[in-house]
Amino acid sequence: MNVQNYRATIAQYVPINSLSQKHFEILLSKAEIVELHKNRTLFRRGDVDKSHFYLLEGELAVESAGGEKTVITAGTEEAKQPLAQHQPRQATVTALTPAVCLKIESKSLDMMLAWDNASNYTVEEVTPETTLDPVDWMGNLLKNHVFQKIHPLNLQAFFMQLEQVNHRKGDKILEQGATGDYFYVIASGSVDIIHTSKTCPEGMLLATLNTGEFFGVDALISNTPRSASAIMKTDGSLMRLSKAQFLELVTKPIIREIAYADAVKLVDSGKAVLLDVRLQVEHKYANLRNSVNLPLVFLRLKHHLLDHNKLYITYCDTGGRSAAAAFLLQNYGYNACVLEGGMQAIDHTAQNEAKQPETA
């Protein structure tokens, strides 16, 4: 069952009806439909689900702690309000008839409402006929796992600080080896990410990025030179944010560190993997025991080889490159953190020297 089939109804719900067209569409892309058979329970008193539920079809009974029951019928004024919204839940909600409900993550709704309160956003009326351009860069960006973890206030500030720059096909946005100064999001067009080396002087295509995707992260977080060049594949428009603002608003709140002793316990238990994101030659010379090598520069190409059921504890010499790797891994949907202090903070007895590398 498609959420879009109910857009006219959803546009009337509170506080969804106060959203701008753009944020209404983004919210719909994140919403879920929940179907209930008669006598099935939507949630129980005491549950904590961090979601907003609304009734779309049918009738529901809302039973309070004292046993009092209220009947909610689809299409009424009462149905326009979120169901027994307090968390933990203060009531049990059960279907009196076959019913259809809307489920929205509370954090997502708060995020959209926060952005609409930003001074540089114009609130437009939402109607059943309004649609959003399918290549909307903001909506695509928010589908990235890493941006879903950021507090709404940080995201609001992030969008308010972005600066738009337009480019032609063939323009070089980033130069491999240069100092990192900006984070970029593609508002329109496509960008090729290319890495050159002694073995591949003509350049290896690491990725082609499109609307809503971002680049330029590695050098900002690791404080090292750009590891690849970025060239416009088509004419397009980019949104950029300065290094200082990006680190403060985006990376600082989501990148967590773990002490080596705790990391060892997790690895020994089979729950985690130590991931060395330095170059293969660095890993071969010295590495942490039981670690796997996947250089940061090849993370975009090879991340699919990793296991989504594992925690990846990234490390390098000092923590710079590993922080960039953890950020990218989180964006790809992996659970990742950074080894505190990197190899330089680890006793040399925990390190292997001149070991043949295990590579991902």
Q: Point out the residues of the chain with pLDDT beneath 70.
A: 111, 114-135, 347-360
**Predicted confidence (pLDDT) per residue in 226-269, tens digit:** 989 999 999 999 999 999 999 988 888 888 899 999 999 999 99
Q: Is 39 left (phi over 0), alpha (psi -120 to 50) or beta?
A: left
The per-residue pLDDT for 235 is 93
Instruction: Delimit the domains of the chain by residue range.
Output: 3-132, 140-148+161-248, 255-353
The per-residue pLDDT for 158 is 86
The per-residue pLDDT for 223 is 85
Q: Which superfamily does 255-353 belong to?
A: Rhodanese-like domain (3.40.250.10)
3-132 matches 140-148+161-248 in fold:
yes
Q: pTM of the entire structure?
A: 0.57
The per-residue pLDDT for 114 is 61
Long-range (24+ apart) CB contacts under 8 A made by 110-114 are 110/152, 111/152, 111/155, 111/156, 112/19, 112/23, 112/24, 112/26, 112/27, 113/15, 113/18, 113/19, 113/23, 114/152, 114/153, 114/155, 114/156
- Find out whether 55 and 101 touch, Cβ atoms under 8 Å: yes
- Find out whether 338 and 257 touch, Cβ atoms under 8 Å: yes
Q: Which superfamily does 140-148+161-248 belong to?
A: Jelly Rolls (2.60.120.10)
The per-residue pLDDT for 229 is 95
The per-residue pLDDT for 110 is 74
The per-residue pLDDT for 124 is 38
The per-residue pLDDT for 348 is 57
According to the CATH classification, is domain 3-132 in 2.60.40.420? Answer: no
The per-residue pLDDT for 98 is 97
Residue located via tokens 């106060």:
18
The per-residue pLDDT for 357 is 42
Residue located via tokens 């390098």:
316
CA atoms lying within 13 Å on the CB side of residue 137: 21
For residues 295-310, one letter each, b for 16 or more C-beta atoms within 10 angstroms of the residue's C-beta and e for the rest, the string is bbbbbbbebeebeeeb
